[in-house]
A and B are shown apart, each in its own frame.
Chain A
Amino acid sequence: MNIMNLRRAVQGFFLLLFLFLFLQTETKGDNTLGYPVKLFLDFDPLISFSSLLSSRAVTGAFFLSVLILLLTAVLGRVFCGWICPLGTLNNLAGLLKKKQKGHIPPGSRRIKYYLLIFLLASSLFTLQLTGIVDPLSLLIRSFSLSIYPLFNSAVRAVFETLYALQVPAVTDFSEWIYSILKKSVLSFQQPYFIQGVFLGLFFFVILALNLVEKRLWCKYLCPLGALLGVFSRFSPLRRSLSEGCNDCGLCSAACQGGALHGSDRSWETSECLYCMNCDDLCPHNAVSFGFGRPASTAMDLGRRNVISSFLAGIVAVPLLRTGPFSRSGYSHPKLIRPPGSLEEGKFLERCVKCGECMKVCVTNGLQPALTEAGLEGIWSPVLVPRMGYCEYGCTLCGQVCPTGAIRKLTPDEKKKTRIGLAVIDRGRCLPHSYSTPCIVCEEVCPTPKKAIWLEKVKVKDGNGKEVILRQPRVDLERCIGCGICETKCPVLGMPAIYITSLGESRSKENRLLL
């Protein structure tokens, strides 16, 4: 096996590992998952580095990500060329384009460094935007909120159609296949996400950029690639050319990264993905990789541009905080954070919007925020109880959070964690406003002594007949804001009972009681 095929096999392995762990990010009924589903994020040095800066705290898996930096310092950006699942998907999308290169000027490769500087500068001043463009965070978020729901919807549509048609023999066979898919690659229930369409388009655009130039994202935009590029600067694994080279141009045409531009002889460590195309393709066997003295050439980023990027990163911090969200005493009533979330300021310093919590949420209630937390908090998790409630005994979101924005709670802690408060809309409530019996909110209320209790009242119905009703009331001390009452309220559309963030345990300000 030549080294190019070895590389492809390794890429395939890591992509499959990524997909496997992704599929395991779903409960089978236990309150644990059984696999380290956030493994790729744990190894992501951009996430751990920017979190370190923004929150001044070491995230759980910081040391794993340091391993990647050490690997990069010795072997260069092998992570990009051999491991990164988004890189591999870019490779696959690139198969649709014939020529390796487009017409983008090589100077554009610097964009990713400016982006990195911008992000780290923001992080330094507590603004965590990295997750929006970090490749692993971006990939998991896109898959969780859009690509996987899309896949599920498409597969289900095919099998539902065959089921509806009831073709003899065919439907039996399709149902058999369907049952196997349900047990393996399909989700337990069809996931639905707010902004799913938009997030999917964003992801498809990244893939489509491969049609402009293969691996355009990796070469010009990826901030993790830039970080690893910096650390690979003095990597001793370097490319050398022997006498046999006749400048045929084959290798620079096949270069996956931006390491060879224009000529076969110039080579830049920090841009090389170590895909080994040049080594394998050289008709004269003139290319070889081996350990030696680190190459000394470095890309000139331009002092002014570096300073501009840094300043932009700093300016972004107060700019994004000009909304009402930083104002004392203000809290968005719909900003219902998952249980275990840190106080909002600290939460935003850590959340990288990877979507793990939304993927794992058993009720599909955790959704990406749009404006509830300001632009800074876009795509961070909020509970939308009309979509799904917070399951009383479940603590999975805290288990999969890579940065500790959502703390890992024990089930007992979780059951006492208040994420909001139920409010009854008497105008819509059947027993309050329509003299009609209904007790669903009380029935489903999960606290051991129910937070929703029923008061027996005598009222008259429209015919003047006296009826005895039980009207729901909310106990301020006992309600934890899980939202099951809102989810299950039979008054569809606008519910007769809903959750607001008021009274959440994590906030000292957003309080109601003494």
Chain B
Amino acid sequence: MNRREFIKKAALAGITLSLPDGLISLAGSAEAARQIDLVVVQGSSPSKIVRAAVDGMGGMKRFVSRGDIVVVKPNIGWDRTPERAANTNPQVVAAVVALCLEAGARKVKVFDRPVNDARRCYKQSGIADAAAAAGAEVSYIDERRFKEVRLGGLALKSWPLYQDILEADKVINVPIAKHHGLATLTMAMKNWMGVMGGSRGRIHQNLDEALVDVARTVRPALTILDAVRILTANGPQGGDLRDVKRLDTVIAGVDQVAVDSFGATLFGMKGGDLGYVVAGHRAGLGRMDITKLKVKKIKA
């Protein structure tokens, strides 16, 4: 517990003690939200379900403090339009950006290191325009800002990671759920490939452990998994609309292993089927047994 947190808790306790009965339950609901591990929201409006999911987790103020510099990290890996479900839904990204700013963030940065041409990915995904309109600072990767970081992991001893993500006050991961030839599914943990520099194609030689190594270093304050549309085959970039399934769902959680483990159920699998989820669980990065998690389901 740091000083800021201590003062907050002390103040909360003080307020709670001095409040009339009716309001105590209100303050208690914020406390109750902290007990919830995952919030799963379904509804037709991407921005509404994102708001409901974040509210379900206790509101964005729980994760973002006034004056914070926040990185919102979507998947902008491919030169594909939103209906093809290869990149994070632009409305989901915009809603997260807006929530961060409403919570008092000083600056919200949005970027990714795409596989296809960055200009086309940013534009065709709709994310650059949507995030900028919501008030984010959208930028292309600046190769100079990759700094070699000691990871000391099982697969990666060190790797160049993007400085902005390491220096940010808070990081919010906004991946999309989709199929992948090697990882089977790619969701939250694999999204960190977008902050890796160098010849990152090599990590596929030991992908599961490598993902855990990076995810351990880049610890997000919150993960919001976009399953508005999911890609069920020919991932991670797809292209055929028949491979896209509309679920109108987002999943929010603090534990990235738990989010990925629950995400697997969207595809009729379980977390244990995914090597990196198992590896993450084993490394103590998070919990994969969703039967032991407190999951709140909402329709919005």
Partner of B201, one of A27, A28, A488: A488
Selected interface stretch from A210-218, A238-246, A279-287, A388-396: A388-396
With both beta carbons as reference points, the residue of chain A lying nearest to B144 in the complex is identified as A163
Q: Give Cα A391–Cα B118 distance, bound, in whole angstroms.
A: 11
Q: Is the CB of A28 within 8 A of B119?
A: yes
Q: In residues 146-199 of chain B, which contact A (Cβ within 8 Å)?
A: 180-182, 199
> For B234, what are the chain A residues with a Cβ–Cβ distance below 8 Å?
448-450
> For A440, what are the chain B residues with a Cβ–Cβ distance below 8 Å?
201, 204
Q: Give Cα A27–Cα B243 distance, bound, in whole angstroms.
A: 29
Q: Is the CB of B115 within 8 A of A488?
A: yes
Q: In residues 188-229 of chain B, which contact A (Cβ within 8 Å)?
A: 199, 201-202, 204-207
With both beta carbons as reference points, the residue of chain A lying nearest to B129 in the complex is identified as A29
Q: Give Cα A450–Cα B120 distance, bound, in whole angstroms.
A: 21
Q: In residues 74-111 of chain B, which contact A (Cβ within 8 Å)?
A: 79-80
Q: How distant is B142 from chain A, measured CB to nearest CB, in Å?
A: 10
Partner of B205, one of A27, A30, A430: A430
Whether B273 is near chain A, meaning CB under 8 Å from some CB there, is no
Q: Is the CB of A30 within 8 A of B236?
A: no
Q: Give Cα A320–Cα B56 distance, bound, in whole angstroms.
A: 74
Whether B237 is near chain A, meaning CB under 8 Å from some CB there, is yes
Q: Is the CB of A391 within 8 A of B79?
A: yes
> For A363, what are the chain B residues with a Cβ–Cβ distance below 8 Å?
117
Q: How distant is B57 from chain A, measured CB to nearest CB, in Å?
A: 32
| Given known A-B contacts A393-B124, A448-B240, A29 and B181 have beta carbons under 8 A apart | no
Q: Give Cα A447–Cα B201 distance, bound, in whole angstroms.
A: 19
> For B116, what are the chain A residues with a Cβ–Cβ distance below 8 Å?
391-392
With both beta carbons as reference points, the residue of chain A lying nearest to B235 in the complex is identified as A443
Partner of A454, one of B119, B181, B201: B181
Which of A436, A446, A492 has the largest count of B CB atoms less than 10 A from its CB?
A446
Q: How distant is B281 from chain A, measured CB to nearest CB, in Å?
A: 21
Q: Is the CB of B119 within 8 A of A362?
A: yes
Q: Is the CB of B205 within 8 A of A438?
A: yes
Q: Give Cα A287–Cα B258 distance, bound, in whole angstroms.
A: 89
Q: Is the CB of B205 within 8 A of A394?
A: no
Q: In residues 229-278 of chain B, which contact A (Cβ within 8 Å)?
A: 234, 236-240, 243
| Given known A-B contacts A28-B123, A442-B181, A391 and B117 have beta carbons under 8 A apart | yes
Q: Is the CB of A394 within 8 A of B204?
A: no
Q: How distant is B51 from chain A, measured CB to nearest CB, in Å?
A: 28
Q: Is the CB of A436 within 8 A of B240?
A: no
> For A492, what are the chain B residues with a Cβ–Cβ distance below 8 Å?
199
Q: Give Cα A31–Cα B144 distance, bound, in whole angstroms.
A: 28
Partner of B204, one of A31, A188, A437: A437
Q: Is the CB of B180 within 8 A of A443?
A: yes
Q: Is the CB of B236 within 8 A of A443?
A: yes
Q: How distant is B133 from chain A, measured CB to nearest CB, in Å?
A: 15
Q: Is the CB of A362 within 8 A of B117?
A: yes
Q: Give Cα A274–Cα B223 distance, bound, in whole angstroms.
A: 69
> For B239, what are the chain A residues with a Cβ–Cβ distance below 8 Å?
392, 446-448
Q: How distant is B72 from chain A, measured CB to nearest CB, in Å?
A: 19
Q: Is the CB of B119 within 8 A of A490?
A: no
With both beta carbons as reference points, the residue of chain A lying nearest to B208 in the complex is identified as A437
Q: How distant is B183 from chain A, measured CB to nearest CB, in Å?
A: 9
> For B182, what are the chain A residues with a Cβ–Cβ distance below 8 Å?
437, 439, 442-443, 454, 470
Q: Give Cα A31–Cα B240 distance, bound, in whole angstroms.
A: 20
Q: Give Cα A438–Cα B239 distance, bound, in whole angstroms.
A: 22
Whether B41 is near chain A, meaning CB under 8 Å from some CB there, is no
Whether B60 is near chain A, meaning CB under 8 Å from some CB there, is no
Q: In residues 438-478 of chain A, which contact B (Cβ within 8 Å)?
A: 438-440, 442-444, 446-450, 454, 470
| Given known A-B contacts A437-B207, A443-B236, A449-B234, A29 and B123 have beta carbons under 8 A apart | yes
> For B207, what are the chain A residues with a Cβ–Cβ distance below 8 Å?
437
> For B144, what are the chain A residues with a Cβ–Cβ distance below 8 Å?
160, 163
Q: Is the CB of B205 within 8 A of A437?
A: yes
Q: How distant is A478 from chain B, measured CB to nearest CB, in Å?
A: 11
> For A188, what are the chain B residues with a Cβ–Cβ distance below 8 Å?
118-119, 140
Q: How distant is A34 from chain B, measured CB to nearest CB, in Å?
A: 13
Q: Mark A159-187, 1 if CB is under 8 A from B, else 0.
A: 01001000000000000000000000000
Whether B128 is near chain A, meaning CB under 8 Å from some CB there, is yes
> For A163, what are the chain B residues with a Cβ–Cβ distance below 8 Å?
144
> For A436, what are the chain B residues with a Cβ–Cβ distance below 8 Å?
205
Q: Mark A389-424, 1 if CB is under 8 A from B, else 0.
A: 001111000000000000000000000000000000
Q: In residues 248-277 of chain A, which contact B (Cβ within 8 Å)?
A: none
Q: Give Cα A30–Cα B117 distance, bound, in whole angstroms.
A: 11
Q: In residues 30-71 of chain A, which contact B (Cβ within 8 Å)?
A: 30-31
Q: How distant is B1 from chain A, measured CB to nearest CB, in Å?
A: 36
Partner of A362, one of B120, B140, B236, B240: B120
> For A430, what are the chain B residues with a Cβ–Cβ distance below 8 Å?
205
| Given known A-B contacts A454-B181, A470-B182, A448 and B238 have beta carbons under 8 A apart | yes
Q: Is the CB of B204 within 8 A of A393?
A: no
Q: How distant is B229 from chain A, measured CB to nearest CB, in Å?
A: 15
Q: Give Cα A391–Cα B182 distance, bound, in whole angstroms.
A: 23
Q: Give Cα A497–Cα B33 distance, bound, in whole angstroms.
A: 51
Q: How distant is A371 from chain B, measured CB to nearest CB, in Å?
A: 29
| Given known A-B contacts A392-B79, A437-B204, A446 and B128 have beta carbons under 8 A apart | no
Q: Give Cα A31–Cα B81 distance, bound, in whole angstroms.
A: 13
With both beta carbons as reference points, the residue of chain A lying nearest to B180 in the complex is identified as A443
Q: In residues 64-114 of chain A, which contact B (Cβ within 8 Å)?
A: none
Q: Give Cα A58–Cα B243 distance, bound, in whole angstroms.
A: 44
| Given known A-B contacts A437-B205, A438-B205, A449 and B199 have beta carbons under 8 A apart | no
Q: How distant is B100 from chain A, measured CB to nearest CB, in Å?
A: 24
> For A488, what are the chain B residues with a Cβ–Cβ distance below 8 Å?
115, 201
Q: Give Cα A499–Cα B42 distance, bound, in whole angstroms.
A: 45
Q: Is the CB of B120 within 8 A of A27?
A: yes
10 A-B residue pairings within 8 Å (CB atoms)? A28-B119, A31-B120, A188-B140, A362-B120, A391-B79, A393-B79, A436-B205, A437-B182, A438-B201, A470-B182
Where the two chains meet, the residues of A that have a C-beta atom closer than 8 Å to any C-beta of B are: 27-31, 160, 163, 188, 362-363, 391-394, 430, 436-440, 442-444, 446-450, 454, 470, 488-490, 492
Where the two chains meet, the residues of B that have a C-beta atom closer than 8 Å to any C-beta of A are: 79-80, 115-124, 128, 140, 144, 180-182, 199, 201-202, 204-207, 234, 236-240, 243
